[in-house]
């Protein structure tokens, strides 16, 4: 045990001395691990256990520890961090539970009280940094640097610290206590500069990294601060405002179709999307003067001080964002871009002092180029100083980034998933630091040279490589001059997927809006992201898929198609990005189709005349017909999939199908979401089409969530709707129960009758309507026959955005 590491540090122990001197254990089986990475281990799962340290006189302080759960003996067990401990039965604690929640609690004489709770993915074998701040009556709980729980309570004013398990086993390490409740930063990765701030929290609306450095006559990056704020809803309005002179905050409301290809942005501008469904299609942003090879030093009129935040970019005709010609001090933050003609964010021709942070690059091929070409040394050498941090490179193919000449380029705490070609390339004597990143399913995470470009220099340290190659390094690179924190690399998957992309921050200059993963106090979700089957698919004998059959793994489209048509029960594990032989590929009975490691399909599954089928954890993108079509089939469970932009329906259920559950899916960048019932003339559907839709995230999809004909009763509960023309429509005598949902920015949340279809019955109750139209209801609905527990609608947004979609379960 070491003491007084800093002036305000009361206590620290990393167990490197091989003992637990100073700790008092009760219950469980405690020891210090004997391997090189020593930790305090509690190995029993048969009871509750705790180990305490420190003094009872400590009052206001912050206690932090890294915690790695190794087993949970049950469905609602926890590991915990303790503060202001009075005795073994009285203290405050921050509990990380196996049901994918974190709870801030008080234990009084052995009786617990929940003070606050939030959703967070929890997995055995994953390391989490827990932190509990106690200052006066203020209590704050953090997971991986993100504030998730807070409360006010005055029961205990002082006390010891501790760690604990409840019918669980875990390793605890790097325990530290700081006075004044200021809170320690996560342990920095040597030899980085002294860190500040929290790696998992986007923080205040202030740029960090290279964009924060004073240089070239500009002090940091403030964008349009101090200028007027305007809101634009059309292309002509935006083009005029972006090219205007003087500081200005331009709020983009809705998706604007730009005529393309590129549109000029002048100095001192903040361009920020309103909500999670604003941005641009068809065109991109050009930040910089016209190209001039004769200019080899920053000109006085170079574009500078620009912020781009919270915007969606889709189907751009050239680049989504291009930064060129010595443009400096640019912050590109919390945006989402999908696919377009060329780069997502290209930075070149002497540009510098740029930070690219918390963005979600979704399926982009040429993602981020840094440096124009091998012959551009005159403009680029000594410049191209860029920071890339906490970005989600989600099935991007290459250039994440590809660097020429830039030095120091800093790539840290990003999450790379299924990178097709390579992650980071350092060429033409560039100097790149790659640290604290999480690479998953990336054959070539980082290397030197690329194409005809010569070697650069690349230093890699403390990265997490999961099912990935080793990478290539060479040369040395000095650290950048700014302060920063490197979070634990293997924690970045949870941190980045929860925080990156649109809809997670407010307007620069205003208080930061908490991201969906950091809600105000809400009820604990009934069903965690990995929850058991609920709803109609539990009836008629239940739905088990390929259970009991052989398990096979497939990584190409033809092999998947063959397995789907097998007459035998199969559990089919799908890996990689697959193109199947047909637009719609038949699925026979008794199949479980399970995505592993970000599996993606670009065409559809046809479950026709089949029974007992499960489809989970797949991403469907760019399908040509339907993503999933269920017809004439029974007992089907469609769970934890992502549907991202295709031709027709995401999930259509029709032609007398029955006993179906559609749960924890995300539909985004799409219009026709979920049809239930083929057409008004298909009266054979009467008495069938019994479907449950729960905990789905309809993220900007426009209609059919679902659109119901004939089915009765159809159960729609605890879904989150954002930005839709209409939510649920009941037609042709259907009976639909709509309860406990959250409708936000939905013009017509519930509809009785739709288009030319006659009305059905619809009962709506216990829903929340935020900036939405009035719900419609009529008649009554048959009772729901299966057991379920309804979450309070106030917690649905947080629970669903944290848990819905592919990649949220452990297949």
Q: Contact 323/287 with Cβ under 8 angstroms?
A: yes
Rounded to 5 degrees, what are φ and ψ at 537? -70, -10
State how far the Cα of 207 lies from the Cα of 330, in Å rounded to an integer: 9
Q: Contact 361/390 with Cβ under 8 angstroms?
A: no
Spatial neighbors of 451 by CB under 8 A, at least 6 apart, are none
The residues facing 675 across adjacent strands are: 707
| Long-range contacts of residues 567-571, Cβ cutoff 8 Å, at least 24 apart | 569/545, 570/546, 571/545, 571/546, 571/547
Q: Contact 252/281 with Cβ under 8 angstroms?
A: no
Indicate the pairing of strand 402-404 with strand 369-370. parallel
Q: Contact 160/55 with Cβ under 8 angstroms?
A: yes
**Helix or strand (DSSP H, E) at 506:** none
704 is an active site residue: yes
**3-class SS shares of the chain: helix, strand, coil, % to 5:** 5, 40, 50
Sheet holding 255-257, edge to edge: 255-257, 279-281, 312-314, 336-337, 360-362, 392-394, 415-417, 438-440, 464-466
Q: Is 376 left (phi over 0), alpha (psi -120 to 50) or beta?
A: alpha
Which of 622, 722, 648 shows the shortest CA–CA distance to 339?
A: 622
Please, what is the Cα angle at 453 between 452 and 457, to 5 degrees? 150
Q: What is the DSSP string of 653-674?
A: EETT-EEEEEES-EEES-SB--
Task: Tally helices (H) and strands (E) across the chain.
Answer: 5, 67
State how far the Cα of 418 lies from the Cα of 398, in Å rounded to an integer: 11
State how far the Cα of 457 lies from the Cα of 405, in Å rounded to an integer: 10
Catalytic residue among 176, 704, 707, 709: 704
Spatial neighbors of 154 by CB under 8 A, at least 6 apart, are 136, 137
Asked if omega into 191 is within 30° of 0 (cis), the reply is yes
Spatial neighbors of 708 by CB under 8 A, at least 6 apart, are 676, 677, 689, 714, 728, 729, 730, 731, 734, 736, 760
Asked if omega into 408 is within 30° of 0 (cis), the reply is yes
Which of 487, 484, 463, 458 shows the shortest CA–CA distance to 473?
A: 458
Which of 209, 120, 77 shows the shortest CA–CA distance to 493?
A: 120
Burial 755-781 (b: 16+ CB within 10 A, else e): eebebbbbbbeebbbeebbebbbeeeb
Spatial neighbors of 423 by CB under 8 A, at least 6 apart, are 393, 400, 416, 439, 442, 444, 445, 446
Give the CA-trace dihedral at 266, 269, 273, 279, to 10 degrees: 10
**Helix or strand (DSSP H, E) at 264:** strand 262-264
Q: Mind telling me the catalytic residues?
A: 704
């Amino acid at each position: 045990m070491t003491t007084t590491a800093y002036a305000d540090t009361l206590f620290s122990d990393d167990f490197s001395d091989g003992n637990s001197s100073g700790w008092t254990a009760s219950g469980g089986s405690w020891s210090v691990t004997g391997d090189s990475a020593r930790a305090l281990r509690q190995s029993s799962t048969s009871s509750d256990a705790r180990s305490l340290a420190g003094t009872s006189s400590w009052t206001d302080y912050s206690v932090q520890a890294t915690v790695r759960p190794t087993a949970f003996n049950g469905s609602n067990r926890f590991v915990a961090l303790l503060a202001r401990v009075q005795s073994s039965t009285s203290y405050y604690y921050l509990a990380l539970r196996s049901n994918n929640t974190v709870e801030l609690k008080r234990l009084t004489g052995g009786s617990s009280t929940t003070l606050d709770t939030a959703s967070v993915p929890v997995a055995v074998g994953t390391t989490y940094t827990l932190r509990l701040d106690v200052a006066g009556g203020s209590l704050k709980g953090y997971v991986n640097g993100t504030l998730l729980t807070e409360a006010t309570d005055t029961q205990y004013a002082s006390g010891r610290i501790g760690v604990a398990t409840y019918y669980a086993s875990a390793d605890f390490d790097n325990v530290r206590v700081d006075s004044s409740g200021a809170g320690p930063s996560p342990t920095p990765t040597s030899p980085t500069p002294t860190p500040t701030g929290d790696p998992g929290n986007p923080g205040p609306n202030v740029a960090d990294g290279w964009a924060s450095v004073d240089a070239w006559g500009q002090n940091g990056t403030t964008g349009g601060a101090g200028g007027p704020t305007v809101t634009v809803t059309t292309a002509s309005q935006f083009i005029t405002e972006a090219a205007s002179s003087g500081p200005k905050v331009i709020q983009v409301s809705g998706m604007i179709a730009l005529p393309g290809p590129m549109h000029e942005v002048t100095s001192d501008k903040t361009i920020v999307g309103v909500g999670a469904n604003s941005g641009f299609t068809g065109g991109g942003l050009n930040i910089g003067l016209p190209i001039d090879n004769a200019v080899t030093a920053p000109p006085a009129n170079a574009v500078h001080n620009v912020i781009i935040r919270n915007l969606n970019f889709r189907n751009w005709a050239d680049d989504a964002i291009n930064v060129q010609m010595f443009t400096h001090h640019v912050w590109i933050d919390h945006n989402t871009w999908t696919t377009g003609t060329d780069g997502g964010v290209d930075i070149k021709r002497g540009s510098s002092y740029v930070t690219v942070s918390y963005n979600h690059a979704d399926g982009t091929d040429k993602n981020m180029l840094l440096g124009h070409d091998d012959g551009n040394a005159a403009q680029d050498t000594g410049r191209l100083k860029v920071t890339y941090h906490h970005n989600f490179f989600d099935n991007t193919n290459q250039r994440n980034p590809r660097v020429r000449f830039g030095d120091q380029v800093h790539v840290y705490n990003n999450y790379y998933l299924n990178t097709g070609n390579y992650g980071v390339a350092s060429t033409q004597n560039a100097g790149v630091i790659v640290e604290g990143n999480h690479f998953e399913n990336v054959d070539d995470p980082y290397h030197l040279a690329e194409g005809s470009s010569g070697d650069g220099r690349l230093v890699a340290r403390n990265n997490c490589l999961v099912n990935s190659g080793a990478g290539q390094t060479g040369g040395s690179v000095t650290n950048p001059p700014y302060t920063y924190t490197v979070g634990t690399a293997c924690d970045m998957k949870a941190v980045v997927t929860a925080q990156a992309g649109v809809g997670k921050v407010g307007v620069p200059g205003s208080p930061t809006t908490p991201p969906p993963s950091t809600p105000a106090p809400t009820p604990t979700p009934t069903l965690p992201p990995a929850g058991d089957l609920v709803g109609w698919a539990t009836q008629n004998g239940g739905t088990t898929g390929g259970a009991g059959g052989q398990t096979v793994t497939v990584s190409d489209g033809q092999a998947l198609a063959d397995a789907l048509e097998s007459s035998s029960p199969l559990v089919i594990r799908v890996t990689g990005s697959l193109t199947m032989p047909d637009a719609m590929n038949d699925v026979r009975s008794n199949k479980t189709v399970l995505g592993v490691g970000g599996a993606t399909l670009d065409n559809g599954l046809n479950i026709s005349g089949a029974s007992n089928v499960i489809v989970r954890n797949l991403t469907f993108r760019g399908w040509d017909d339907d993503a999933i079509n269920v017809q004439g089939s029974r007992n089907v469970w469609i769970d934890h999939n992502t549907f991202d932009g295709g031709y027709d329906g995401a999930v259509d259920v029709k032609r007398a199908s029955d006993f179906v559950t559609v749960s924890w899916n995300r539909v985004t960048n799409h219009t026709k979401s979920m049809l239930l019932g083929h057409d008004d003339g298909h009266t054979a559907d009467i008495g069938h089409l019994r479907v449950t839709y729960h905990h789905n995230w309809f993220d900007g999809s426009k209609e059919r969530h679902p659109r119901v004909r004939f089915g009765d009763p159809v159960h729609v509960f605890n879904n989150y709707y954002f930005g839709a023309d209409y939510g649920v429509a009941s037609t042709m005598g259907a009976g639909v129960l709509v309860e406990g949902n959250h409708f936000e920015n939905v013009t017509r949340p519930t509809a009785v009758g739709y288009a030319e279809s006659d009305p059905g019955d619809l009962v709506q109750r216990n829903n929340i309507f935020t900036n939405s139209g009035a719900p419609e209801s009529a008649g009554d609905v048959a009772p729901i026959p299966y057991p379920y527990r309804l979450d309070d609608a106030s917690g649905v947004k947080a629970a669903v955005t944290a848990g819905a979609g592919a990649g949220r379960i452990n297949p």
